[in-house]
Amino acid sequence: MCAMTPPLRVTAAVATVLAAFLEDPAADRYGLDLMRASGHPSGTLYPILLRLQNAGWVESLWEDLDPVAAGRPARRYYRLTPDGEVAARAELTALQQRLHRGLGGTTSPQTA
C-alpha cells in the first residue's frame, strides 16, 4: 500500500473542497456542484481537482448520459478514494485544531 503523501499543499482553498467532499463521502460530486458547495470559481476549482487526482485523493468518471436526450451536458463525477478520505480527514482535523488553539478557552471578551 504505502500510502504516499505526495507534495500536495492543503491550502485554505483545497481544504474547503475537501470539506465539501467529506460532507457526504459516499456521494458523487460534479464540478458545478462543488463550485457552489465550496464557493470557488471554476478557474480555482478545476486546477484543485486536477491536483487532488494527481495526488490520488480523488478519482473521476464521466456520467454515461445522452446529452441530447437529457437536455444538458454530461457531468464528470468526482469521488474521494479510500486513501483520499483518510488523508482529507486527517489534514482537515489538523488544520482545524491549529485554528482552534487561537479561538479556544483563553478569550472571553465576546458576547458568545
> Which of these ranges, 44-52, 60-68, 71-79, 101-109, lies near its own copies under the rule CB under 8 A?
101-109
40 lines the binding site for DNA (CB under 7 A): yes
String of DSSP letters for 27-41: S-EEHHHHHHHH---
Cβ–Cβ under 8 Å, residues 35 and 45: yes
Half-sphere exposure (Cβ direction) of 12: Cα atoms closer than 13 Å: 4
> Which of these ranges, 23-31, 43-51, 59-67, 71-79, lies near its own copies under the rule CB under 8 A?
23-31
Half-sphere exposure (Cβ direction) of 110: Cα atoms closer than 13 Å: 6
In angstroms, the CA 85 to CA 18 distance is 9
101 lines the binding site for its own copies (CB under 8 A): yes
| Sites for its own copies among residues 37-76 (CB under 8 A) | 39
Beta bridge partners of 58: 80
| Sites for DNA among residues 44-103 (CB under 7 A) | 44, 46-51, 67-68, 71-73, 75-77
- For DNA, the binding residues (CB under 7 A) are 8-9, 11-14, 30-33, 40-44, 46-51, 67-68, 71-73, 75-77
